[in-house]
Chains A and B, each alone.
Chain A
């Protein structure tokens, strides 16, 4: 199961990454980036790093992407390209068909792997919040603390470069 899931989501990540740089409109690029972030979260989950996966979804796919979209909106990304002419049938049947596909896939997975009662991804463990905290505040204490300087510089730099005028 693992290699299949890995292949699927790694594929999605790569495709979304390519789409992100080839899109003309920034909003479309930002949405593709969400695809990359989401599939990365699944990959983390496959590695047994559930805490990182959750953080990935909350911080990257959530907060940072919203910030991106705000910036794009404020900077006036320009007019949207003309939407492709979509057929009436696609609009009508699209959502039910996707739901049907998902249901079918879910059924297939459930039938092929009936013994997986509890969800356990991969053969890796040690990605719980406790394990991450342990690593972060013991072995990786110094890089963790020093990263705060990096963040501080980013803020200071933004202040310096964004101030109105020299005094």
Chain B
């Protein structure tokens, strides 16, 4: 053994502990699945939940001793820990609303939960990646697991369509990202974010145009993953076709993780060439908001409405990125946290309301919901109001901080246009609320059963989080501000 070989220290293993736990629990689920008879398959989601809570505790523990791990491939800092906790929360909520949906579709099997855990491994890696190689591997782990989940109900045509579209376009986008990474390596001689940053700031040898081109190629990959314009076209079809709990998961978890790594790469590594990519982000942010909000106006399918709304919300987060300041980063983190709760809550309720085979996913199918199930309607209304950005909800403060950060960075036009956009958005969210509260119950709402326990818990927790973020935003904002100092 060579003399200069050093085993990874204990602290390094601990910094990778959340991922390790998720991998072990995912594998455990598959092993249990093999031993369980046909009648004993119902318990796997409990194992998954247990693993997720364990991973959350591990993420907390790892975050208490921040630092790099495994030759700087990972960097566990406040920012990474924040997003680790966020995606693990997404995982817990998604697992909670899955069992009832899966058993209704007669597809209750352990692989589903194993895939969710593995996908979260990728997202946790993305949150803490400090190397472009880890970014790529994390993104692939997270995406491939999500492609499979989107097509989980194999006999359902819409599932197949969703999975194949997501897979083909996603692979294409990843190839762009990888090409950009290869260029960066060729230009700077490193894939480490800190080294690239230093190189771009101190050395004049790298041609700024070429570095900008490489950053642009990587932007294509990231923009696809966060469904930012002009790479948003896949979102409505994929979100509509995938099983509702999976849509809940993939509209929140992979998106938050992709934003985390997007912000980290561009703020850390490409900070020196910020003037080349900031205009691109500016244009993309505006286009994303406009396309998302205006396309949502004409949709009649709730899943598509929420898919376009999720595009629009990616635009708001891009506004925060375009602000290019520490306040902007903190605002993006806060916004993503509140977005995750309102979005996953809304999709959890949709997986309850859609019934078997997702027959009832039109807006009009919600007619008179408030009379049949007042609690469900009220919860749904809370999520929609938060998506609009009404005061006393997390969505309001999310938008508030983002536009404040944009104003601080003198992005007046983007702020004005963004605010106009959120006014447009109010229309299609309010339309759903009007249908729920002021229309006579139709035959879709007549046959509605009580929501399953898991969905009830998930949506209550999400609604509680949305309201708490709206009443006492400083709880989370302080954490976000403290953890937003990346790359400095």
Interface residues of A (CB under 8 A from B): 134, 138-143, 146-147, 149-150, 152-154, 156-157, 159-161, 163, 165-167
Contacts and interface: CB of A to CB of B under 8 A. Distances in A.
B121 A163 contact: no
Interface residues of B, number: 43
A163 B154 contact: yes
A156 B121 contact: no
Contacts of A140: 71, 73, 133
B134 A167 contact: no
7 closest cross-chain pairs (CB), A and B? A157-B148, A142-B70, A142-B73, A166-B107, A139-B71, A160-B111, A143-B133
A150 B139 CA distance: 10
B5 interface: yes
Contacts of A134: 2
B388 to A, nearest CB: 37
B419 interface: no
B8 A141 contact: yes
A143 B122 CA distance: 12
B141 A146 contact: yes
Contacts of A156: 30, 111, 114-115, 118, 148
B151 interface: yes
Contacts of A141: 8, 70-71
Interface string B12-25: 00001001000100
A142 B154 contact: no
B155 A142 contact: no
A149 B70 contact: no
A156 to B, nearest CB: 6
A149 B141 contact: yes
A166 B155 contact: yes
B137 A150 contact: yes
Interface in B123-155: 125, 131, 133-134, 137-138, 140-141, 144-145, 147-148, 151-155
B9 to A, nearest CB: 13
Interface of B: 2, 5, 8, 16, 19, 23, 27, 30, 38, 69-71, 73-74, 105-107, 109, 111, 114-115, 118-119, 121-122, 125, 131, 133-134, 137-138, 140-141, 144-145, 147-148, 151-155, 163
Contacts of A163: 154
A167 B106 contact: yes
A150 to B, nearest CB: 5
Contact of A153 (B38, B106, B148): B148
Contacts of A143: 73, 131, 133-134, 137
Nearest to B134: A143
Given A156-B114, A156-B148, A142 B74 contact: yes
A165 B38 CA distance: 14
A140 B30 CA distance: 28
Nearest to A166: B107
Contacts of B73: 140, 142-143
A162 B38 CA distance: 19
Given A157-B144, A161-B151, A166-B154, A149 B115 contact: no
A156 B149 CA distance: 11
A147 B137 CA distance: 7
A141 B152 CA distance: 32
- Residue of A139, A157, A159, A163 with most partner-chain B CB within 10 A: A157
Contacts of B140: 150
Contacts of A146: 19, 121, 125, 134, 137-138, 141
